[in-house]
Structure 1
Amino acid sequence: MSTQSCPRVLALSGGVGGAKLAHGLYSILPDWQLQIVVNTGDDFEHLGLHISPDIDTLLYTLSGLANPATGWGRDGEQWLCMEALSQLGEADWFQLGDRDLAMHLSRSHRLRQGSTLTQITQYQAERLSIQARITPMSDDPVPTRVHTDAGQLDFQHYFVKERCLPQVHALEYTGADAAQPAPAALAALQEETLEAVIICPSNPYLSIAPILALPGFREALRNTRAPVIAVSPLVNRKAIKGPTDKIMRELSIQVSSASIANHYADCLDGLVIDYSEQTLAHTLPLPTLVTNTLMQNNDDRCQLAHACLNFASELKQAKNQNRAFS
């Protein structure tokens, strides 16, 4: 096997929050020792283009091209094409910058030529000199539908056009039961060389749940020899970015890292929570690391990545001992 096919660390990620920790891991791990499985439930077609927001956020973040103010999109962006499209009466609620358009044009063209989303994503990562494997969760479409008091909405319609304002009643990962998980992700989970699986602090219900809904993926997490740890996206019982806490309240889920632990309970070996929720640590039914999870700069990202890997190393020793005695 090539070094690219045997990662030491496998991360599951959505958009901005997950990309920050993924960037921290990427910064401290040797080349090609990180593989990131990315949510594609947010993918949709807009103006004839295939848009993969979470994949793009990871590509831009790991390549140093991301807009530091927003965490998504490209730095130094211009909007001349969108201005012209708006003048022509085309939909302008989902903003695509001039440089960002190149990514969507490339992806859409290659999909029409017969390449898979996995092949395209790895090609684009290599063109951007990214030495990590970025793997879409599936090459099959698994669009997230949001059931709200305004009706059933496509995810981007809810998230961007409606600005997350409608009340959420349920989430649906359409087609997940018939989709094929990324073979490279399942293969990585079976590798004896894998040292850690890290569920990044992305929205558990919008970004990570679609991945876990794919056939066999959750079981593969339960069966992997590597410790599986999750980083709670909550700081002081609030989401740093996005509607995680809002959705939890609307789905009658307690806004607490304890709920995050429960969400992943059957496949989790450890949980990482912020200092602001440290009083929960002794109440949780699994090993818990309390540390700073607020990633305000690159140093914070690297420090959290180091903390996660050290925690995983401790859990791996315990997991191996338990296997030896079982």
Structure 2
Amino acid sequence: MGEDCACCCSLSVGIVIFILGVAIIDWIKRMQRGKASLVGEHVVITGGSSGIGKELGIKSAERGAHVTILARDVQKLEEACKEIRSRVKSSSQNINFFKADVTNYEEIESVFRRCEVEVGPIDILINCAGYAFPSKLEDIPLHHIKGMMDINYLGTAYAVRSVLSSMKSRRKGRIVCVSSVGGLVGLYGYTAYSASKFAIRGFCEALQMEVKPYGISVTVSCPPDTDTPCFEEENKVKPEETKLISASSGVFPPAKVAEDILRDTLAGDFFTTTGMDGNLSTMLNAGMSPMSSVFGLLLQTMFSGIIRLVSLGYLYSFNRIVENCASKKEKRKKLE
């Protein structure tokens, strides 16, 4: 009996060591893929004139890619292009820009055709165009409810649709869609914004299933609060409750977020995020999303239950913030 127990124990230890070994090897390979060169690759970025989009242009150029950025403001595009050109790896790299409105399908499709003719086939499409107008639902101007859905979701869907036939014919391509941690967790003040960003996550899950047979990968980025011009504008109208909830996660530099997006995209990950809260959110919301990492699967399997309990603690604290703010508002009303 004792020998049987010892054998079972040894077998269990052996299985655990084997699984850990496979996970570690997988993690090492993933890190190597994430450092891959982009020499000769054509990277196209919507919303590339500022913030995360511009930093992605810089990071791509530093790895040797041809970079094309798209946005609506020509002056900002010119300034961003100049900055990206200063970071190229080789003088042979083509750094270009086009004025484009992602909410106009005919326009974005036409611009992409010009990109392919003038620079070459699009190898990586990164959809960064988007904005937020945080407010209570009854206080959000209707044009912002529609505007966030048009730019954040439809702008992404239009851009992706425009490159699919070319990528499928070459059986090659990477598609990155920038959602948000607010596209995984609905928070006070983000009713309209979260709806547009949650849509991107569902879009990417279905898209990955469609394009996988053609050798095309899909990555959905869920960055936390990032120090960008859009974030500055967002803070001007952000409710007190939203500010207090967001403060618990901190604000990240766009260069760090861009580096994480590029690394995880090249590694073939479906989710990419930055920071502890972002990683907890993606693990908790894995659901039926694709899994490209044995290491990630191991973490999700081991810690999902614990993370669910932690998330309830977060939710409790967020609800307390909302309740305290409501109480303060009621007291102010009575004093008035």
TM-score range, shorter chain: 0.3 to 0.5
**Larger radius of gyration between Structure 1 and Structure 2:** 2
TM-score (norm 2): 0.34
* Higher share in strand: 1
Q: Which has the higher contact order (CA 8 A, sep 6+)?
A: 1
